[in-house]
Structure 1
Amino acid sequence: MGELDTGYVDGIAYTFGYCDELNPLRLTLPLLHAGLDLPTVQSACELGFGHGVSVNIHAAGSTTRWYGTDFHPPHANFARRLASSAESRAQLFGEHFSAFCRRDDLPDFDFVGMHGIWSWISDETRALVADFIRRKLKAGGVLYLSYNTQPGWTPMLPVRELMHRHFKVGAVSESHNGMVAEERMQVRIKAAVDFAQAVFATQPGYALVNPLLAERVDALSGESPNYLAHEYFNRDWHPMSFLQVASSLVEAGLTYGGSADYRDHVDEINLSPAQCGLLADIGDTGLRETVRDFCVNRSLRRDYWVKDPRTLSDDEREAKLLAHRVILALPRASVVLKVRGALGETLLPEALYGPILDALSSYRPVPLSDIEETVRARGITLTQIAKAVTLLVSMGVLLNCQDDAQIRAAQPSAEKLNAAICEQARHHDDVQFLVSPVSGSGVFVPRVPQLFLLARMHDMQEPAQWAEFAEAVLRAASQATQTTTGLPSGAATSFADLIAKAKRFAQIHLPILQALGVA
């Protein structure tokens, strides 16, 4: 069905992004920070998986049995092809929530994830999903939920209404002019954005009392139509406060477990001393989270909710924290000790972070207990290590790690999925993530490095051979694009550039990808 039938813009494909928060392994540090027990995730579900990049990576990179649905046929078909390539056990459907959530052949789940869904569905559908979670999430199980929130989105509400109305008017008055549906959608979206910018160019009173809004509206022209379509132009678009969301989830038997954004667990980079003091005196979770959102002007929440959580004793929490493993995912020399929080950019102290990074320089999974033993002589405590590791994971410097048995079990399906994604790189750069069986998560690998890896899969061992292979593939793809569209495909990469990239890839990036089980 089209957007006039469902209220959802399905005439234009969504992006091929990856969401690490949907990886159940990521639960560990936030839940332990809150003193809550961890579920053993044997079965998991993603509702509204888009092109299925995340769900396929997490299914291929772990022993978890994944289920999920996305009603848009091109999305579901692409996702199922990836699952078939990986030979994973993922069960992926192309059903609306109204059908999927009423299926009687689904297991109960230890983890349910929804990224970018809650704010874009109707009240009726949210009630249906909340009931599904109430019935199908196990005791101790976790829900990951992201959603647009207030107060950060509040100034944009009238702007979105303005653009959406122009978009709807355009649907009635436009001339098709022989364009395919996706092209017509792109034209309408661009026209709506241009109209909003034209309104702001007149310096309306609303812009004067919201001086940062004009810049935000101008930035829309730099976004892809695929992103804008699904962010702004659905019929349902509801940025909600934490309290509004909590009212639905508490009724479903869930308790707030903590933020899935690791940076939120380090107050020093987000809150002033006065704000920290204010929040410390607020005992009610709903009120405290609402005040925190005001303090940081939050526009997107990423939250974990737990069904019937079990609180850990201090000894239990410490034991699980010490057993948690992480791995260095960047060259040690390239790590920049800066992180951006709500207060802006913060420099991280070398005296604390340097020894921790040095303890991980073997590029293998290391438990926090080993890090503690290595840095104990420097007076660094487990509490400091946990906070530092949390920030380093948020920066992409470290990845959480599975245990060795899970890594071995995931290796075959991870290899198959990575081979399939690299093979797709012959034709396009849609999927720019590969799966690490070590972390069970996605690792950013753009098209050209994927082609280098594909060359290695074909027994080409030297960087010069990888460059030659990549050049031939890119040249053939460029010619095919020009033949199909009559338009040039963009700036070509010179062979000299490819040689340089291949040598750098071999020297710097390949060893890390090998440590992560990607290559």
Structure 2
Amino acid sequence: MQNWADGYFTGSHYTYGYFDYLSPVQQRFALLLNGLECPPSDSPHHCELGFGQGVTLNVHSASNPGCYTGTDFTPDQAVFAAGLAARACNRSLRILDDSFADFHARKDLPQFDSISLHGIWSWVSDDNRRVIADIVRQRLKPGGILYLSYNCLPGWANIQPLQRLMELHDRFGGAGRKAEQRVDDALGFVRAVLSAQPAYAEAAGETLRKQLDALGGDKAYLAHEYLNRNWTAPYFSDVAQALADIRLEFGATSQILKRLDALHLTAAQRQMLTAIDNPILREQAQDYCINTRFRTDLFVRGAIRLTPEAQRIRLFRQQVVACVPARKISFTVSTHLGTFEPHDDQYAPVREALADDGGCVKTIGDIVEHAGRRGLDETRALRALLTLMGTGQVYACQPEADLDNVRERARRFNRTIAELALEDDHLHVLASPLTGAGISNIGRSERLFLLAIFDGIEDPVDFAWRSMKSIDASLVRDGQALQGDAQNLAYLREQYAAFQDDLLPVLEALQIT
């Protein structure tokens, strides 16, 4: 292991995932739901520490006003992130490959409106956590937001020993092997230990068996999660105390779905939590009820605490937009308590309101009013809408003035993502200037269709197939590679018809095209 890595796993690239919780627009909305307001400044500066491949950083820099600074001490990841920004001509983004200590020592950094770290807190050493706290203490503005996501207890209590076994096996037996093989070898070692029926496995029970069955997905993620020598899963209350020491208070979870208690808590649990006045104790007790293993928290350095009346006014003025076709909107939610599947027509007025006028932007107040005219009361209408927001089907929108500032920047980024479909299939996310967030899982064919639209090409299907042929690619249907022009073109025409019916109207509503 390289000394510069300080125990962090650097044997493979991190994933190319996108995480909307880091969007300033969505962070402010989550705080609003908890009765807090952190208005953005006129010239905001945002920061992401440990950005991985920088996909999220690039998306948010392209779709939000102001400037971004990011650092990740893995040089090739910094090169990738900077190259993506350069290709999109995004001059509002500054990419560094500093360690946290080197970043902290810089004299050329602004004060930040937000600082975000996704997962990093769990994966770095105690010394690095202290440096991160110092960065936040010195660089986060009054009224600023800290986003911190991390593995936590009690959810990791039975699983944490697995990580230690895998890390130890990798430390003493993984040298010289590729990352994927190291993961497989470590998993094999864990299974061998568990097959000997140790008392630990019997005590851990079903939780352990389910977790072991789940190990085997994305090898890049598993390597970074399980092979780090520095790895921790703190209690929420310990994290809150560490940040309170630098004058930050807990603001809210960024997971909107967790605001809907009935989805996660039994009646007895809700009654018990209602009797707890202290917010830290209540939040920690809720983690025990849910057996939380990963938190996505927002902390604030001072915020406006709204009265219920002021919160309602701001909430009902907030604009939102759907990012899935109206016919695909689903109110079904699965949690540890089971699957909640309301009758399709129960929340139909909310779906109708979102779809009106071609899916254009609506205020929450407009949607609630429409639902009321159709017999759905305010409480249920809000619950339905927040369910859609919590499941990523509806997003909060940013103010019109901010939208005007980033529209062209976002368009350049989206064209770049479409162009990159000609080179590889890593990047599947587009940036919406309307929401200040990304829309994910855009397929390669769909990105090529979008590129044709950007370039005004008359036949996007023909363009897409010629592009794929030029890189010796073919389509796969039902697990079988299609053969020849006729089969591939026919399948692409089916895909394009679906693209026109479903995805393209959404991209237009999100002002991506």
TM bucket, shorter chain:
over 0.9
Aligned identity (percent) is 35
- In 2 relative to 1, CA 120–448 (structure 1 residues): closer, same or farther, beyond 3 Å? same
Of the structure 1 ranges 427-436 and 29-38, higher mean CA displacement relative to structure 2 is found in 29-38
Per-residue CA distance 1:201-234 (angstroms, 9 max, x = gap): 33332222222212311321x2222111111111
Equivalent residue runs for 1:61-76 within 5 Å: 61-76=63-78
Is the 2:323–2:395 Cα contact (8 Å) retained in structure 1? Answer: yes
SS of corresponding position for 1:237: coil
Of the candidates 37, 47, 54, which is equivalent to residue 45 of structure 1? 47
Of the candidates 333, 338, 341, which is equivalent to residue 344 of structure 1? 338
Deviation at 1:384, TM superposition (A): 4.0
Distance in 1, Cα, partners of 2:104 & 2:470: 43
Is the 2:16–2:53 Cα contact (8 Å) retained in structure 1? Answer: yes
**Matching residue's letter, 2:119:** G
**Residue number in structure 1 paired with 2:116:** 113
Equivalent residue runs for 1:423-442 within 5 Å: 423-442=419-438
Distance in 1, Cα, partners of 2:377 & 2:87: 45
Is the 1:427–1:477 Cα contact (8 Å) retained in structure 2? Answer: no
Distance in 1, Cα, partners of 2:263 & 2:165: 35
Distance in 2, Cα, partners of 1:508 & 1:3: 50
Per-residue CA distance 1:304-332 (angstroms, 9 max, x = gap): 11112221123321221121111121111
**Residue number in structure 2 paired with 1:249:** 243
Deviation at 1:474, TM superposition (A): 5.1
Deviation at 1:302, TM superposition (A): 0.6
Of the structure 1 ranges 341-350 and 258-267, higher mean CA displacement relative to structure 2 is found in 341-350
Is the 2:368–2:382 Cα contact (8 Å) retained in structure 1? Answer: no
Distance in 2, Cα, partners of 1:466 & 1:5: 45
Distance in 2, Cα, partners of 1:81 & 1:441: 20
Deviation at 1:383, TM superposition (A): 4.5
Distance in 1, Cα, partners of 2:472 & 2:260: 47
Of the candidates 311, 321, 332, which is equivalent to residue 327 of structure 1? 321
Deviation at 1:3, TM superposition (A): 6.2
**Residue number in structure 2 paired with 1:298:** 292
Of the candidates 153, 166, 171, which is equivalent to residue 168 of structure 1? 171
Of the structure 1 ranges 76-85 and 291-300, higher mean CA displacement relative to structure 2 is found in 76-85
Aligned residues: 498
Q: Is it true that 1:392 corresponds to 2:395 in the alignment?
A: no
Deviation at 1:397, TM superposition (A): 1.7
SS of corresponding position for 2:141: strand
Of the structure 1 ranges 267-276 and 391-400, higher mean CA displacement relative to structure 2 is found in 391-400
Per-residue CA distance 1:231-261 (angstroms, 9 max, x = gap): 1111110011011111210001111111111
- In 2 relative to 1, CA 122–405 (structure 1 residues): closer, same or farther, beyond 3 Å? same
SS of corresponding position for 2:37: coil
Q: Is it true that 1:103 corresponds to 2:106 in the alignment?
A: yes
Per-residue CA distance 1:165-206 (angstroms, 9 max, x = gap): 1111114xx5x5xxxxxx623222211111112222333322
Equivalent residue runs for 1:19-38 within 5 Å: 19-38=19-38
Deviation at 1:405, TM superposition (A): 2.4
The two structures have a TM-score, normalised by structure 1, of 0.91
Is the 1:2–1:11 Cα contact (8 Å) retained in structure 2? Answer: no
Distance in 2, Cα, partners of 1:380 & 1:135: 48
Unmatched tracts of structure 1, length 5 or more = 177-182, 479-489
**Residue number in structure 2 paired with 1:364:** 360
Is the 1:115–1:146 Cα contact (8 Å) retained in structure 2? Answer: yes
**Residue number in structure 2 paired with 1:82:** 84
**Matching residue's letter, 1:456:** I
Deviation at 1:378, TM superposition (A): 4.0
Is the 2:63–2:437 Cα contact (8 Å) retained in structure 1? Answer: yes
Is the 1:460–1:466 Cα contact (8 Å) retained in structure 2? Answer: yes
Is the 2:411–2:512 Cα contact (8 Å) retained in structure 1? Answer: yes
Of the candidates 432, 439, 445, which is equivalent to residue 443 of structure 1? 439
Of the structure 1 ranges 251-260 and 386-395, higher mean CA displacement relative to structure 2 is found in 386-395
**Matching residue's letter, 1:54:** T
- In 2 relative to 1, CA 476–35 (structure 1 residues): closer, same or farther, beyond 3 Å? closer
**Residue number in structure 1 paired with 2:60:** 58
Is the 2:46–2:68 Cα contact (8 Å) retained in structure 1? Answer: yes
**Residue number in structure 1 paired with 2:450:** 453
**Matching residue's letter, 2:84:** L
Equivalent residue runs for 1:193-212 within 5 Å: 193-212=187-206
Of the candidates 198, 206, 211, which is equivalent to residue 216 of structure 1? 211
Per-residue CA distance 1:437-490 (angstroms, 9 max, x = gap): 111111111222112212333332335324423542452599xxxxxxxxxxx9
**Residue number in structure 2 paired with 1:492:** 481
**Residue number in structure 2 paired with 1:507:** 501
Q: Is it true that 1:276 corresponds to 2:270 in the alignment?
A: yes
Deviation at 1:381, TM superposition (A): 4.9
SS of corresponding position for 1:54: helix
SS of corresponding position for 1:26: helix
Of the structure 1 ranges 78-87 and 144-153, higher mean CA displacement relative to structure 2 is found in 78-87
Distance in 2, Cα, partners of 1:324 & 1:267: 22
- In 2 relative to 1, CA 469–366 (structure 1 residues): closer, same or farther, beyond 3 Å? farther
Distance in 2, Cα, partners of 1:141 & 1:122: 25
**Matching residue's letter, 1:398:** V
Is the 1:20–1:26 Cα contact (8 Å) retained in structure 2? Answer: yes
Distance in 1, Cα, partners of 2:410 & 2:29: 24
Distance in 2, Cα, partners of 1:298 & 1:442: 26
**Residue number in structure 2 paired with 1:186:** 180
Distance in 2, Cα, partners of 1:261 & 1:118: 18
**Residue number in structure 1 paired with 2:128:** 125
**Residue number in structure 2 paired with 1:420:** 416
- In 2 relative to 1, CA 317–57 (structure 1 residues): closer, same or farther, beyond 3 Å? same
**Residue number in structure 2 paired with 1:481:** none
**Matching residue's letter, 1:100:** F
Is the 1:3–1:234 Cα contact (8 Å) retained in structure 2? Answer: no
Per-residue CA distance 1:396-454 (angstroms, 9 max, x = gap): 22121122222222121111111112222112211111111111111111222112212
Distance in 2, Cα, partners of 1:139 & 1:346: 40
Is the 2:46–2:67 Cα contact (8 Å) retained in structure 1? Answer: yes
Distance in 2, Cα, partners of 1:207 & 1:466: 56
Distance in 1, Cα, partners of 2:263 & 2:315: 23
**Matching residue's letter, 2:413:** L
Per-residue CA distance 1:333-366 (angstroms, 9 max, x = gap): 1222201223121123555521122111131111
Is the 1:422–1:454 Cα contact (8 Å) retained in structure 2? Answer: yes
